[in-house]
Amino acid sequence: MGLAEDTLTLFTREMLIFKKNLLQNLSRGLIFPLVFIILLGSFGSTPKNVPVAVVNYNNGPMSLQLINLIQSNNNVKVVSATTQAQAMSLLSQGSVAAVIVIPPVLSQDSASSIYVYLDNSQPQSASVVNGAVSLAAAKLGTSLVTSSIGSAPNIISVITDYAYGAGSNYESFVVGGIVIMVAAFGAMFGSGFTVISDRELGNMKAFLTTPINKYAVLFSKIGYGTVQSTFSAYVGLIIGLLLGATIAAGIVGFIELLWIIGLVGLSFGALSVAMASKAKQLQTYALITQTITMPMSFLGGAFVPVSLLPAILQPVAVVDPLTYAVNATRDIMIKGYLPVSMLVESSAILLIFTGVMIALAAFFFRDTSQQI
């Protein structure tokens, strides 16, 4: 007749209700991945089909070769223009992202320049054009040098090799963050939200009139929040995989992710129960949870790598438990390998956070007159 048994009874109740509302719970896991992958697009990846206007004043074989090389790059789409003025007006209208002007004189013997006018209001597009032109020019220069002089060009070649994350894509990066955010938000709904709604509906009072250990209410809510958030996060993960994300660590990674996601659900379940035990109204609770969970997700690098955060915020990420969870999911999904030390570190931090939150929840919950 102990705490464990009472917790199990109340947890059973939550799970029966969960089963009844399965469809609703399923949809909760769908929204974030769909929004971030489909609607937001490939925010971090290379733009495709960036329109550029090319003005060719040279019309020699070399310039045509150059244009062909630029055209062969899938990232840009060449639009021809007859005069520079016409091309510039296309640029000012925003019809093209850049204007490339090939001067009348173009030769590999003497120094000659190709002019590229960029619209940097779309920095990603601008850098793609810059890259495409440089690449084409380099290729052109290299091949000409090779054919005319017949000796190896004097170039220091840089050999790059992706030690980790060779098969990485934007989807894997963003899904790694999304599953953590979905888990955190899911726990807010599963745990704290139901504490408040049970209180408003009078269920809490009914539970407390039975001879149960009152803390069983807290533990069952945390348990349910963990299950619900893990479920939602896995729905999100599966959607992400269908949309192109990959788990580099394979099946083992799928299981490792369960552990990390479960811990996030547990710790945020505990956090939300602590807040729900104190917040009197649903509105207050919703405000507090959003104010906490949103910044924590962003600071933890769920969407943008921590290294891209403003310098003054980077130290804050160190104390955000989600940082460790997001790092772990990225390692599993992109690197394909979660070092044991990192597994221990992230688990320990999330468990300590959980412990502190449970203590806080129990402290707020000790006076049941505040809960009825």
Partner 1 sequence: MVEYAIEIDNLVKKFGDFTAVNGVTLHIKKGEIFGLLGPNGAGKSTTINMLLGLIPPTSGNILVDGIDMQKNPDKAKQEIGVVTQETVVEPELTAEENLMIFGRLHHIPASELQKDIDFALELSDLTDFRNKYAGTFSGGMKRRLETAKALMHAPQLLLLDEPTTGLDIQNRTQIWNLLRQINKRDNVTILLTTQYLEEADQLCNRIGIIDHGKLVALGTPAELRQKIGMSAVVEVAAAKDYLDKIASAFKKVGLDPQVLTNKVIASGGNAPVDKVDKLIKALTLNKIPIHGISMHEPTIDDIFLKLTGSSTRDQTGADNSKAAALMRRGR
Could you list the residues that contact partner 1 (CB under 8 A)?
1, 5-6, 9-10, 12-13, 16-17, 20-21, 201-203, 205-212, 280, 367-370, 372
Q: How far is the CB of 76 from partner 1 (least distance, A)?
A: 56
Q: Specify the residue for token string 């955060």.
A: 309
Residue 21 or 130: the one with the smaller Cβ distance to partner 1 is 21
Residue 208 or 286: the one with the smaller Cβ distance to partner 1 is 208
List the alpha helices (DSSP H) in the chain.
Answer: 3-20, 22-33, 61-72, 84-93, 123-149, 170-187, 194-201, 203-208, 215-242, 250-278, 282-299, 314-318, 321-330, 340-365
Residue 285 or 298: the one with the smaller Cβ distance to partner 1 is 285
- b/e string for 307-334 if b means 16 or more Cβ within 10 A? eebeeeeeebbeebbbbbbbbbbbbbbb
User: Which H or E element spans position 245?
Assistant: none
Q: How far is the CB of 175 from partner 1 (least distance, A)?
A: 31
Q: How far is the CB of 358 from partner 1 (least distance, A)?
A: 21
Q: How far is the CB of 15 from partner 1 (least distance, A)?
A: 11
Q: How far is the CB of 36 from partner 1 (least distance, A)?
A: 31
Residue 32 or 219: the one with the smaller Cβ distance to partner 1 is 219
Residue 1 or 152: the one with the smaller Cβ distance to partner 1 is 1
Cα 152 from Cα 325, distance rounded (Å): 50
Q: How far is the CB of 362 from partner 1 (least distance, A)?
A: 16
Give me the residues paired with residue 101 across strands: 55, 115
| In contact, 23 and 232? CB cutoff 8 Å | no
Cα 108 from Cα 194, distance rounded (Å): 73
Residue 68 or 368: the one with the smaller Cβ distance to partner 1 is 368
Give the DSSP letter string of 248-273. TTHHHHHHHHHHHHHHHHHHHHHHHH
Q: How far is the CB of 361 from partner 1 (least distance, A)?
A: 17
Residue 147 or 209: the one with the smaller Cβ distance to partner 1 is 209
DSSP 319: T
Cα atoms found within 13 Å of the Cα of residue 58, Cβ hemisphere only: 20
